[in-house]
Amino acid sequence: MVCITLRPLLLVGRRFGLGFERAIHLSSSRKMPMVRVATNLPDKDVPANFEERLTDILADSMKKPKARIAVEVMAGQRITHGASRNPVVIIKIEAIGAMSPEDNIRHTQKVTELCQETLKLPKDKVVISFYDLKPTHVGNNGTTVAAATL
């Protein structure tokens, strides 16, 4: 069981030329989820605390500190879904290594429930895409995440 748990850390370490301790640091603290929410709903229909609630849900689901999660909401966008201008939300979640097929199902369920409750959208009008980013492709604090862990 320990080998299964440690294998992803070792692969991250090998892939980026990191020692085991650095791989653990990268895997546990450097996953910086970035979330973009676009909707054709007017801004007045998006609760003022939507970003905070989404941050809370993702912090719990992704097991990440709230301070690492960035959420951008763009309301009032010109968006169609299925050739219709009916209300819809399109959410893009980017993170470093915080996703797996099983994780994404859990994230999708929780985020969809929030959108149903707060935005009053049906399930089929909540579209979520997940992007697993490389640490070499994310910059923060004047460097890349990969370089910051060296």
According to DSSP, the β-strands at 34-39 and 89-95 are antiparallel
Q: What range defines the domain where residue 113 resides? A: 31-136
- In this structure, is residue 149 part of a structural domain? no
Q: How far apart are CA 40 and CA 55, in angstroms?
A: 21
CATH number at residue 93: 3.30.429.10
Collect the ranges in the chain with pLDDT lower than 50. 1-29
Phi-psi label, residue 82: left if phi above 0, alpha if psi -120 to 50, beta otherwise: left
- Is the residue at 44 inside a domain? yes
pLDDT in the model for residue 58: 96
In a domain, 117, yes or no: yes
Query: Is the pTM value of this prediction over 0.75?
Result: yes
The answer as to whether 10 is a domain residue is no
**Is 89 part of any domain?**
yes
Contacts of residue 109, defined as CB under 8 A and 6 or more positions apart, other chains included, come to: none
pLDDT at 20: 41
